[in-house]
Structure formats: structure tokens, C-alpha cells
Amino acid sequence: MTKNWHLYEVFIRSKNGLAHKHAGSVHAQDAETAVLSARDLYTRRGEASSLWIMKSADIIASDPGEVGELFDPADDKIYRHPTFYTVPDGVKNM
Amino acid sequence: MNIAENYIGATTPSSPKTAYMLRLADNALILGQRLSEMCGHAPEMELDLALTNISLDLIGQAKLLFEHILTLEDLAPNADVLALTRPQDQYTNLLLVAQPNVDFAHIVLRQYLFSTMQKIQYEALLGSSDKTLAAIAEKSLKEIAYHIRFAKSWVLRLGDGTPESSERMADALDCLWRFTGEMFERDNIIEQAEVSGLSTDFTSSYEDWQMEVKDGLAEAGGLVAPEVGQMIMGGHKGQHDEHLGHILSDMQFMQLRHPGLQW
């Protein structure tokens, strides 16, 4: 891998109305080739109707060392889960 | 002993219509096979997938064409026999598509030169008197648009890149340009295809194609197509250079060794 290649993250939307989901990453020299490579690597079997690409370096991530203070307080608050509803039969993408 | 003699099941087309389609099929098949050699050998994993994707697109186009040809004329018991068992002089592909994968510059330039022509050639089939052929062309054109986008972006990048990359692009252009005249060559088969309404005349777009490609090359760090005294031709008549033979020895081996082999 030469120094000219950057790492990009690939997000795929499978169909209109759904959200883009992280699919993986590709190496590329620039935005244009990143789109082409992502198309070749992640949409070969009809997975996508749209692609988002971003430089991995641009991701701002939470600190793994702060997992406790960030996420643990949500563990014991079951009343925040929407489990007290019944979902009508016809609804597909909840 | 000629191993092929016992197994050859394909006969040459008797109608200009199937002969013309066989050219289209052979171009797609041979370039697809050539690109498949890069599986596991491209400079990066991403490019490996890109090249083999294009290869599969082309082999898919060839398969549709071979199968359609067989519904029109009984040249072989099935598409595998037609595609994979003919002797070399019965392949009517362009010389360009059999040229070797010398380096990545050769690969992307060959693709750029071929796909930009193939786009014009297939657009001339959209109003074909043969509805199946028109449908195959329409489907293929989407793939071709992507092949051009991929190849052109790499021609630009390498031509306008480092001293080494632009030198390699210039070498590839010196080597491959002499095969481009054949792509627009007129002969009896193509004239009859036009008369019968199978295809409109795409060869008259030769100058437009040259202008488009030369513009693209100029943009790629000022690449200039060499002056070629005599374009090299012969593929349409089955007169090939040594490169096709090497492709066929790989491509035909299994079908000749195990006739009727099915996946």
C-alpha cells in the first residue's frame, strides 16, 4: 500500500426510505475512485440504491475509555424501550 | 495429433446476421477472458475486484449473444461449444481485445479504447430489426458506461500522474493505437447488417470517436496518439497475432479435455 492511498468508509442504502448503513471500507486515491471501488466491492449483488463515502480520518469516535460514563447509565432504564406497544401487522421497517 | 479435431462441434455462420453477432460476442468473450487473467494479480485488491467485475460483465454479454445466435442458426449444440471449441481462425474478435496485460496502463488504455467504441457500436443496435439484440445492447450499454468511467478516470490519473506513470501510458498508447482502425473497418458483413436493419452504420462515427478519444488523451497529461502509417487489421477474417493463441489454450482447455463439461 503506497502512501497515496487513503482509507474511506462506505455506507450503503439498500432502498429508498431506509437509512445508509456502514458496510465496510475501501482504499482509494481520491473521492472518485473511492466511489468506483465501493461500487465494485459492496454492491455486486444488488445491495444498493445509494452510496455514501467518507474519509475514515474524518470520523470522530467516542473514546473507548469512556464507555462506562457514556453508556452504562442507559442500561437500567427499561421504560425508555418502546416494548409496551404492539406493532401492527402491515408495518415492515420499524 | 490435433486434440481439437475430435471435439470441434461448431460450424461457421452462413448468414451475415449471425456472423455479425458472432463478432460482437467474440469481442466480449476474449476481452473478458483477458481481464480474468488479472484475478489475484491487480495492483490493489480494489482494482482486482474492479477488473474482474468488468470481465464478468463482458462474459455475461458474450453469453447472451452466443445463446441468441444459437436460436437463429444451429452452429453448435450449445453456447459453450460455440464459445470454447472453435479453432483460432474462426474467432472474429478484434486484435485489440487480445493484446496482453503488459502493465496496468495497457489494461486501462485498452479498455478505454474498446469501451468507447463499443458504446457507439451498441447504440447502433438499439433500433435493431432484431428485438432481442436490441435488448441485449440496451442492457450492455449500462455496463459499458461504467467501463468507460473506470477506464477513463485511470487513463487521466496515470497520464497526468508521475513521470513513470505518464511514460507507461505513452508506451501503451504507442503499442495499442495501431489496432484502433480495425474497430471501424467496413466489410461485406457489416454492410449487410446495415442493409437488413440489424444495425445502423456506426463506422461513420470513426472521426467523432477519434476526436473524443484524442481529447481524453490530451487531458491525460497531453498524451498524443502516434501517427500510424498502416492500421493493423485481420481479426474480422480470423487472421490473429500470436496473443489469441495463448488465450485460447487457457480458455479452451477444459472444454476440449472434457467435452460437454457443465458447471
Which among B46, B146, B149 is the nearest to A28, CB-wise?
Answer: B46
HSE-CB for B88 with a 13 A CA cutoff: 16
More confident residue, A57 or B2: A57
Band (A2; pLDDT cuts 50, 70, 90): low
Tell me how far apart the terminal alpha carbons of chain B are, to the nearest angstrom: 28
Check B53 against A44: CB less than 8 A apart: yes
Stated length of chain B:
263
Percent of chain A at pLDDT exceeding 90: 53
pLDDT of residue B1: 40
Question: In 3D, which of B106, B118, B90, B107 has the Cα closest to residue B28?
Answer: B118
Cβ neighbours of A39 in B, within 8 Å: 146
- A39 domain-assigned: yes
- A4 domain-assigned: yes
Q: What are phi and psi of B192, to 5 degrees?
A: -70, -35
pTM for the full predicted model: 0.88
pLDDT of residue B166: 97
Q: Is B63 exposed, middle or buried (0-12, 13-18, 19+ CB in 10 A)?
A: middle
- A66 domain-assigned: no
How far apart (Å, rounded) are the C-alpha atoms in residues B148 and B59?
17
- The CATH number corresponding to B15-226+241-257 among 1.20.1260.10, 2.60.40.2470, 3.50.50.60, 3.40.50.300 equals 1.20.1260.10
Check B46 against A26: CB less than 8 A apart: yes
How far apart (Å, rounded) are the C-alpha atoms in residues B130 and B10?
23
Between vectors from CA B233 to CA B111 and to CA B135, what angle results, nearest 5°?
50
Query: Mutate which of B49, B104, B111 to test chain A, going by most A C-beta atoms within 10 A?
Result: B49
**B44 touching chain A per CB within 8 A:** yes
Exposed e or buried b for every residue in A45-78, given b needs 16+ CB within 10 A?
Answer: eeebeebebeeeeeeeeeeeeeeeeeeeeeeeee
Report pLDDT digits (tens) over B115-165: 999 999 999 999 999 999 999 999 999 999 999 999 999 999 999 999 999
Residue A86 pLDDT > 90: no
B68 Cβ contact list (under 8 Å, min separation 6) = B21, B132, B133, B136
What value does the mean pLDDT take over residues A1-15? Answer: 86
Domain holding A17: CATH number?
Answer: 3.10.20.520
- A17 domain-assigned: yes
- A5 domain-assigned: yes
Check B149 against A29: CB less than 8 A apart: no
Amino acid residing at B104: F
Question: In 3D, which of A38, A35, A31, A52 has the Cα closest to residue B49?
Answer: A38
How far apart (Å, rounded) are the C-alpha atoms in residues B206 and B22?
21
Residue B252: enclosing H or E segment and its boundaries? helix B242-257
Band (A53; pLDDT cuts 50, 70, 90): very high
HSE-CB for B208 with a 13 A CA cutoff: 9
Which residues 25-64 of A have a C-beta within 8 angstroms of B? Answer: 26-29, 32-33, 36-37, 39-41, 44
Cβ neighbours of A28 in B, within 8 Å: 46
Tell me how far apart the terminal alpha carbons of chain A are, to the nearest angstrom: 41
Report pLDDT digits (tens) over B18-33: 999 999 999 999 999 9
Domains: count for chain A: 1
Residue A77 pLDDT > 70: yes
Domain that holds residue A15: 1-58
- A73 domain-assigned: no
Domain ranges in chain B are: 15-226+241-257
Amino acid residing at A39: R
- A10 domain-assigned: yes
How far apart (Å, rounded) are the C-alpha atoms in residues A84 and A72?
22
Q: pLDDT tens per residue, chain B (263 residues)?
A: 444 454 556 889 999 999 999 999 999 999 999 999 999 999 888 999 999 999 999 999 999 999 999 999 999 989 999 999 999 999 999 999 999 999 999 999 999 999 999 999 999 999 999 999 999 999 999 999 999 999 999 999 999 999 999 999 999 999 999 999 999 999 999 999 999 999 999 999 999 999 999 999 999 999 999 999 999 999 999 999 999 999 999 999 998 888 878 76
pLDDT of residue B263: 67
Alpha helices in chain A (DSSP H): 31-42, 67-71
Cβ neighbours of A9 in B, within 8 Å: none
